Amino acid sequence: MKKIILTSLTVSLMLALQSSAWAHAFLDHAEPKVGGTVGHSPAEIKVWFTQNLEPAFSKLEVQDAQGKEVDKKNARLDGKDKSLFLVSLPELPAGTYTVIWHAVSVDTHKTQGHFQFTIK
C-alpha cells in the first residue's frame, strides 16, 4: 500500500513540475506504463520525455525489489526520436521493478525521477 501511495505522489509531483517547468525534460509517458502491470517480461523499457535528451549525460536503469540492477546496461536514445530513451531487459521473473532516470535535456537542464511497474 505504501508503495502505491508513493508512486501516486511521484506522478502528481512530476505532473506539477511539468506544468511549471515546461522547458526541462520530464517523463511524458512510458512503456510499460508508470505504475502499470504487465503479463510478461517486456523486452525493453521505453520512456518518452517532454524534450530531447543529451545521451552522454542521461541514465536509465531498472532495479528489482532488492535494488539490484537488472537491465542490460545499454540505455540509448531512439535513432529517430531523441526524446525516447530505451534500455533492454533480460527475461525477468514476476515482481515489482523500479525504473530510475536521470535526464539531461538538450538545454543542459538536469531532471530525475523514478517509477515502478509490475510483472505478474
- List contacts with Cu ion (CB under 5 A): 23-24, 107, 109
Dist. CA 66–CA 96, nearest whole Å: 10
**In whole angstroms, how close is the CB of 111 to Cu ion at the nearest point?**
8
Identify whether the C-beta of residue 103 lies closer than 8 Å to the C-beta of residue 23: no
CB of 62 to Cu ion, least distance (A): 25
Q: Which is nearer to Cu ion, 1 or 23 (CB)?
A: 23
Determine the residue with CB nearest Cu ion. Answer: 109
Least separation, in Å, of the C-beta of 49 and Cu ion? 11
